[in-house]
Amino acid sequence: MTGHDDRSDDREDWGLRAFQRTIDETYGERDRARGVPGAFLWFSEEVGELARCLSRPEPGSPEEAREFADVLAWLSTLASMRGIDLAAAAREKYATGCPRCHATPCSCTHRAEKTD
């Protein structure tokens, strides 16, 4: 993966469920007070900031990594507010590969990129 440090160290993989729980413990009370519409606005803003990073010619910058983390944090907030366990939802939908064709890699033709 680009921008990922593959060096082994003492840190364990955090895991999506642990991340979602940490975000909820850290910001949950404040996020619930702002409500889903307010949290969704913050999420949308972070997606916009990530989009700006993705349009730059240098991938994998520290700023880009932070924006990916912010988008994940706000997505986790929204999922928690709606009672969704992101790890379970992702596993249920994608554990067997593509949800449509069930292949890995996906062999669906509906997602083919246009080359012209």
User: Would you say residue 116 lies in a domain?
Assistant: no
- Quote the domain boundaries for residue 64: 16-84
pLDDT tens-digit series, residues 16-59: 999 999 999 999 999 999 999 999 999 999 999 999 999 998 89
User: Would you say residue 25 lies in a domain?
Assistant: yes
| The 3-state secondary structure of 85-113, one letter per residue | CHHHHHHHHHCCCCCCCCCCCCCCCCCCC
User: Would you say residue 37 lies in a domain?
Assistant: yes
User: Would you say residue 63 lies in a domain?
Assistant: yes
User: Would you say residue 95 lies in a domain?
Assistant: no
pLDDT tens-digit series, residues 58-88: 899 999 999 999 999 999 999 999 999 999 9
User: Would you say residue 112 lies in a domain?
Assistant: no
Report the CATH number that the domain containing residue 43 is assigned in CATH.
1.10.287.1080
Residue 1 has pLDDT above 80, yes or no: no
User: Would you say residue 53 lies in a domain?
Assistant: yes
pTM for the full model?
A: 0.82
Q: Are 78 and 43 in contact (CB under 8 A)?
A: yes
User: Would you say residue 115 lies in a domain?
Assistant: no
